[in-house]
Amino acid sequence: MAKIIKFFDKLEDRTREHLSRVPIIYAVIGGIAIVLFWRGIWDLADVLAGLGGLWAFVFHPFVSLFLSAIVLLVGGLFVSFFIGDRIIMSGLKHEKKVEEKTEAEVREEEAMLAALHVKLDHLTQEVEALKSLLKK
């Protein structure tokens, strides 16, 4: 089982690497696959509902809406999927959405992150130096 998972993990990595070079084709392939996936789920639900009995009850529109909402809420996916983590975090931090930031603001943020990265590297070197001194 682990070999199968590893194979598909590497396949996914290689596929993403190649498709990332052609983003429009990547988007079209991904969009088609997502629509076909959900179409398959929808049709399967219709087939199961057509069997009658418990399946007809579970896949009744109101029941399936209620059950799916409960599963999404319990799993923590409801808000994340419909709103998105980035929007929630920007709202809590009183920041603009990335789309609303000017190029200057984005460059300033990138420069600040680069400076923090340099400081972090410097601190890491100092900690390593202190460790080596303590070992002696």
Q: Is the pTM of this model over 0.85?
A: no
On whether both 4 and 52 belong to a single domain, the answer is yes
Q: Are 94 and 85 in contact (CB under 8 A)?
A: no
Examine the domain organization and report whether 108 and 95 are in the same domain.
no
How large is the average pLDDT for residues 55-77?
91
**Cα(16)–Cα(26) distance, integer angstroms:** 9
Q: Are 29 and 19 in contact (CB under 8 A)?
A: yes
116, 133: one domain: yes
14 shares its domain with 48: yes
pLDDT for res 134? 86
In terms of residue numbers, what domain contains 40?
1-59
Structural domain count, the chain:
3
Predicted local distance difference test score (pLDDT) of residue 104: 75
Residues 99-121 have pLDDT tens digits of 566 777 778 888 898 999 999 99
Whether 45 and 79 map to the same domain: the answer is no
